Structure 1
Amino acid sequence: MRQTIALVLPPDDEPPAGVDIATLTATLRGHMGLIVPEVESKALTLDKDDIPRYCALACVGEARGKLRAQSGPGLGADVAYARKLARSLAALCDHFETLTGQVMCVACDRAIHRPEDAVPLDRVSNSAGAITARVHPDCADAPRPRR
């Protein structure tokens, strides 16, 4: 999911050449369709007064609103909509990790079992800190395809 997010964030970059924005948007929507119920079910197990529950459920509501919305008319509206979905999906991923204690490596999609040994993605990518994910040290050193 975070690899897909990285294709459209940070917002001052253009999506990579050859990326079909309609396909990217459909992929983001599909990811959100999978993670929204997961985050919601995990949040609902917490006490009603728990702040992480409140924040996660607010994020779920916001994500559902974005899923109901459509891209507006005009030049660049499709990219702007994809970026809104990507930011929402990034927040959902953050809530999922917080609620489950599970941290995933965005480079290899395997669990990071010792988060203290992982490195921030912005150290190894051009996300300029827009994506707050972590990767295995070995994945950080692996050759990455150029955008």
Structure 2
Amino acid sequence: MSGTLTATPATAPVDIDTMRHSISRLLGPDTQPTGGEGLAMLQGLLRGHMQLLIPEVEQAALERDANDVPRYVALACIGEARTKLCAAPRAGEHGTLADTRRLARRLAALCDHYEALTGVMMCLTCDQPLRQGEDTLPYDHISPSGPIVRVGRIHASCAHTYRHH
């Protein structure tokens, strides 16, 4: 049975898709180390993404109850992200690459916290956001030895896509 997604926020103040694309340029499975000016530009881009996302994650976390575990974890991540942004750069191209990868990993964690705190739903097949108005289907992955292990929704267009878990 097909359905239309209605559980996502009406507006998104940040572009998580673009941020994740920037992250994939450094941390994706088929990435090649970038050097020189391209690496410096990518590092600046990641820093800019983090500076935009940190206040959004912080606002979403602070709207939660003070005893909420996701709030606590997100605020700890924000502290680490701010530390990474203020850290002195390492010398040399290898140091710059290591610093940039650290920024990318921290940005990925911030994206995850943002999605979790704001209720963004992801397609369990393609890992892309499920947007309001898109046709979706329920998805239940049943373990041969027990109960359902992943429950969620997928894009209707992803229904015939096979994914290794």
TM-score of the aligned structures, taking structure 1 as reference length: 0.69
Select the residue among 119, 127, 140 that pairs with 1:101: 119
Amino acid at match of 1:72: R
1:70 is aligned to 2:84: no
Counterpart of 1:56 (choices 63, 68, 74) is: 74
**Cα distance in 2 between the residues matched to 1:77 and 1:68:** 15
| Whole-angstrom distance in 2 between the partners of 1:85 and 1:97 | 18
Q: Is the 8 A contact 1:29 1:85 kept in 2?
A: yes
8 Å Cα contact 2:62/2:71 also seen in 1 = yes
Name the TM-score, length of structure 2 as normaliser. Answer: 0.62
Q: Is the 8 A contact 1:11 1:83 kept in 2?
A: no
2:154 paired with 1:117: yes
SS of the aligned residue for 1:117 comes to: strand
For residue 34 of structure 1, the aligned residue among 13, 31, 52 is 52
Looking at structure 1, the residues matched to 37 and 92 of structure 2 have their Cα atoms a distance apart, in angstroms, of: 19
Residue 14 of structure 1: how far off its partner (Å): 2.8
Offset at residue 3 of structure 1 (A): 0.3
**Per-residue CA distance 1:35-62 (angstroms, 9 max, x = gap):** 0000000000111111000000000000
Q: Contact (CA 8 Å) 2:23, 2:104: kept in 1 or not?
A: yes
C-alpha RMSD of the superposition = 2.9
1:81 aligns with 99
Greater mean deviation of Cα atoms: 75-84 or 26-35: 75-84
Which structure shows the bigger proportion of residues in strand conformation?
A: 2
Residue 11 (structure 2) aligns with: none
Q: 1:27 to 1:103 in 2, by over 3 A?
A: farther
Gaps of 5+ in 2: 1-18, 137-151
Larger radius of gyration, structure 1 or 2?
2
Q: CA deviation at 1:70?
A: 3.1
Q: Structure 1 residue runs of 4+, over 3 Å off?
A: 10-13, 16-19
